[in-house]
Chains A and B, each alone.
Chain A
Amino acid sequence: SSELTQDPAVSVALGQTVRITCQGDSLRSYYASWYQQKPGQAPVLVIYGKNNRPSGIPDRFSGSSSGNTASLTITGAQAEDEADYYCNSRDSSGNNGVFGGGTKLTVL
């Protein structure tokens, strides 16, 4: 079982804002990173640290954290944002990585 919990599915209307959340006790100590995965492709890092975007990631993607919850926000969702999103962090011991179960985002 995952130490990070995500909603299995979320939907958003085209152009609207959506927040995808990730909960876990270890998030009180470690930032989450977020990955976008489209069918048949490897995951792509979209957010890491407090709120950092790798080069090439649109600025409509942002991250935040409060207590035991990390959030990925997409402001003005586009059709190409439809994908699975995974959060990732260290476990409570800090010695191991752990992924959330993933959230399937549908853009309507």
Chain B
Amino acid sequence: QVQLQESGPGLVKPSGTLSLTCAVSGGSISSSNWWSWVRQPPGKGLEWIGEIYHSGSTNYNPSLKSRVTISVDKSKNQFSLKLSSVTAADTAVYYCARAMVGGNYYMDVWGKGTTVTVSS
């Protein structure tokens, strides 16, 4: 079965760029799925960040759109998140997830999450 694993620095300085990668195993990133990023600040709810299709098509949360870039690397079977100009408000657990988008929309496979702290 498909598994997802997030990786990246756990600490990012304010005004810097947060960079995370999600490795896909047990399946192909070129399947008919969208690949998503979701985050959860400490003690708060889930926030959808954005998604990418293997063709490179992307959708981003309007509130983050100016700072977010999601990309896909089919050769490595992984996708990535970059969030620029970070502040303490970007401190969160970041999850990657596989999404079905179409007749039904849902995220059926999730990574375990990785904690990113923004601090000097």
Contacts and interface: CB of A to CB of B under 8 A. Distances in A.
Given A96-B62, A97-B51, A86 B105 contact: no
Contacts of A88: 46, 48, 105-107
Interface in B1-52: 36, 38, 45-48, 50-51
Given A45-B107, A88-B107, A89-B105, A98 B59 contact: no
Contact of B108 (A30, A45, A89): A45
A88 to B, nearest CB: 7
B95 interface: yes
Contact of B36 (A30, A89, A97, A100): A97
A99 B47 contact: yes
**Interface of chain B: mostly helix, strand, loop or mixed:** strand
Interface in B44-97: 45-48, 50-51, 59-62, 95
Given A30-B105, A31-B104, A97-B36, 5 more contacts: A42-B113, A43-B38, A43-B110, A88-B46, A96-B50
Interface of A: 2, 30-31, 33, 35, 37, 42-45, 48-49, 52, 54, 84, 86, 88-90, 95-102
29 contacts: A2-B45, A31-B105, A33-B105, A35-B46, A42-B111, A42-B113, A45-B107, A48-B100, A48-B105, A48-B106, A49-B104, A52-B104, A54-B108, A84-B45, A86-B46, A88-B48, A88-B106, A88-B107, A89-B105, A96-B50, A96-B61, A96-B62, A97-B48, A97-B51, A97-B61, A97-B99, A99-B45, A99-B46, A101-B45
